[in-house]
Structure 1
Amino acid sequence: MSLHLQTPLIASRPLSLASGQEVWLKLDALQPSGSFKLRGIGLACETFAKQGKRRFVSSSGGNAGIAVAYAGRCLGIPVTIVVPQTTTERARQLIAQENAEVIVHGATWHEANELALSLLGGEDAFIHPFDDPLLWQGHSTMIDEVAAAGFKPDAVVLSVGGGGLFAGVCEGMARQGWDDVPVFAVETAGAASLAAAMAQKQRVALDSVKTYATSLAAKQVCQRAFELSQSRPVISHVLSDGQALEACERFLSDHRILVEPACGAALALAYAPSSALKQYEKVLVVVCGGVTATLDQIREWRAVS
C-alpha cells in the first residue's frame, strides 16, 4: 500500500467562469502531508526502506521535508531535515510534529542541502526534494489517475521550483501518449530559474532568489527539467508574488482549500489566463498544495507585496 492517496479530479466552476475555459483541478493539496511531494518522496522512502536504510536525511524549504518526515514516521525510520533560514516557523513545526529532527542552516536551500549531504552515514538514505528519478516516477502517478478518469486536457498548468513536479508530470504524460499536450510552467519573478534556462537555452543558476513562494526558491532547476523544456511543448510563464498570493485567497474562497503561494502561482494563471493559454479549451491545473503558510501570513505578505 503506497503512502500517498489517489486525489480527486474535479471540474472547477469558479475557475471556468473566471477564465472562460473548461478548468479541471487535480487536488494534490489533499495528500496526507499537504502536498504532491508525498507521491515521489513516499516511493523513494519505501524503496530505501526495503534496501535496509536506517535513517532518512533531506534538505527542504518545507513541503519536501514534511513529506519525508511523514513517510519516515509511517515506516518507523528516523528522519533528519535541514531547512534554510527562509523556511517558515510553521513549516519547521510541521516537520517536527512528525517526530523528525529539524536543523536550520544557511540563507538558501543550496546551503541547507550542502549540510544535509555532509551528515550522511553509511546506513542513511538521502532524499532529494526534487532531483531524483524515483521522485519523478512517483509524481507521474497523478497523470495516470487523470487518464484513468477518462480525461485528457488540451493543456496542463503547474508551478515550477526545482522541477521535480514538472519532470514527474511530463513522465506521466509521455506514458499516456500526451506528447502533444503543452505544459504551462509557472514561476514567480524572484525565482524564475526555468524561465532563465529556457531563455538562454542552457541550465543556469540565478544569482539569488527572492519570493514569498519559498517552495519555488531553487536557484537552478534540475537537469531533467531543463531537458524536458527543450524536447516537448512547454510554455514558460512568470508572474508576481502579489498575483500568486491573491490567487491563494481567491482559491480558498472558491474551493475551501488553503494552498501556499507556490501553488497559487499556477492558480493565478488559471484565474487570469495568458493569450497563449486562452487558445486551449480544456485546462488541467495541478493544485500541488503546500502547508507552510497560514492565511494570516498570506495576507500579511500580500499587504506588502
Structure 2
Amino acid sequence: MTSVQIDDVRAAASRIAGRVRRTPVMRADDGVWFKLEHTQHAGSFKTRGMVNQILAAASIPSAGIVAASGGNAGLAAAYAARELGVPAEVFVPVTAPAVKVAKLGKLGARVVQVGNEYAEAYAAAVVHASSTGALFCHAYDDPAMVAGNGTLGLELLEQIPDGFDTVLVAVGGGGLIAGVIAALHPFVRVVAVEPVTASALHSALEAGGPVDVPVSGVAADSLGARQAGRIAYDLAVAAETPSVLVDDKAIVDARRRLWDDYRLAVEHGTAAAYAALTSGAYAPADGERVVVLLCGANTDPSDLA
C-alpha cells in the first residue's frame, strides 16, 4: 500500500516554498471559515501538488512532462512546467471547458484533446508518455502530488490558531482530500463532499475499494474522475472519513451564494464543498468549527453577473 504521511507533507512544504502562494482564509457571516485556495497560481490547489511532483522526481527527461486532466491538473502542470523551465503536454477531453483549454495554451503547454471523459484523456496520455519517455504527472493518485496538496492543511493550522474541528473537501479523484487527511488527521475531522452524479470516493467506500462510476453533472469537468485514487481510498478508510453527496441544484445554488454574498467566483466543483452546508447534507453540531475548502476558480463567470 502506498501511503502519504505528515512527514511527506512537511517535506513537500519545504520543497515548494516560494513557488506557490500561501492562500488566505476568510471568516464567513455564519462563522464558517473559507480557505481561499482558488486564488492559487493557475486557479486551483493542484499547483501545489504538481510543483512538488516535478521537483521530487529523480530527473526530468528532455521530453518534459505529460499530464491528463479535466482542466485543473493540466493548468497546474502547465504553470509548474513553465515556472520550472520544463516542456509540458496536456491531454484533456473534448468536453473540457473552453476557458480552461484557452488558458492551457497561454501557459505554454501543448494541448491534445481526446475522448469525452477524463479517463479517455488519461489513457491517451499514459501511452504518449511511454512512447516519448516524458515524465507522466498523475492528476491525483501520486504520493508527491498528494503530499504537495496537503501543504494547504499545514497553512490552515497556522492561519486559524484557535483551532477548527472539521474541513469540508470537494472530491473528484481524491488527491486533495488525501493530502488534507495526511496533514490534519487525527486532530481534525475531514469530510468528503461529492456530487451525486460523480461519486468515485463515496462508491469506493461502499464497495470496499475503488470502482468505476458513471460521471455526469455540472461539476464533472473538475470532479469527474471515473475511479477514486488508491491513495485517497486507503487514507479515507484509515481515517474513517465520511462522505456526503450533493445534487446539481445544490451545487449551482452554493456557487451563486458564494458570489452573491462574498463575491467569490468559483467553479461548480469547488462550490460542492459549500453545498454540503447550504443544502443540509452536512449539519455541523452545536459549536462545531468548520472550514470549507474553496479549491478552484477556473470557471466562466459570465453566468454569475
Q: TM-score, normalised by structure 2?
A: 0.88
Residue 226 of structure 1 corresponds to which residue in structure 2?
233
Q: Deviations over 1:14-36 (max 9, x none)?
A: xx1xxxxx311111011121111
Query: Structure 1 vs Structure 2: percent identity of aligned residues?
Result: 32
Residue by residue over 1:103-135, the C-alpha shift from the partner in whole angstroms, topping out at 9 and shown as x without a partner, is 000121111111101111565211111010001
Match in the other structure for 1:155: 166
1:1-305 equivalent positions in 2, closer than 5 A? 1-13=17-29, 16=30, 22-48=31-57, 51-54=59-62, 55-120=64-129, 121=131, 123-149=133-159, 150-174=161-185, 179-206=186-213, 208-213=214-219, 214-274=221-281, 276-278=283-285, 281-291=288-298, 293-296=299-302
State the Cα distance separating 1:4 from its structure 2 match.
1.1
Q: Report what 1:302 is aligned to.
A: none
AA of the residue aligned to 1:44:
Q
Query: How far apart, in 2, do the equivalents of 1:82 and 1:75 lie?
Result: 20
CA distance, structure 1, for counterparts of residue 198 and residue 217 of structure 2:
6
Unpaired segments ≥5 residues, structure 1:
17-21, 300-305
**What letter matches 1:79 in structure 2?**
A
Distance 2:132 2:291 in 1: 42
Deviation larger for 92-101 or 229-238:
229-238
Deviation readout 1:24-72 (Å, 9 max, x if unpaired): 1111011121111111111112333x72333110000001100111111
Contact 2:93–2:120 (CA<8 Å) still a contact in 1?
A: yes
Q: Tell me which amino acid in the other structure corresponds to 1:125.
A: L
Does the C-alpha gap of structure 1 residues 280 and 204 become closer, same or farther in structure 2, counting only changes over 3 Å? farther
Aligned residues of 1:180 and 1:233 also touching (Cα < 8 A): no
Q: CA 1:130–1:298 in 2, change beyond 3 Å: closer, same or farther?
A: farther
* Matched AA of 1:260: E
Q: How many corresponding residue pairs?
A: 285
Moved segments of 4+, more than 6 Å: none
| Aligned-pair CA distance for 1:250 | 1.2
Letter in 1 for 2:247: S
TM-score (norm 1): 0.88
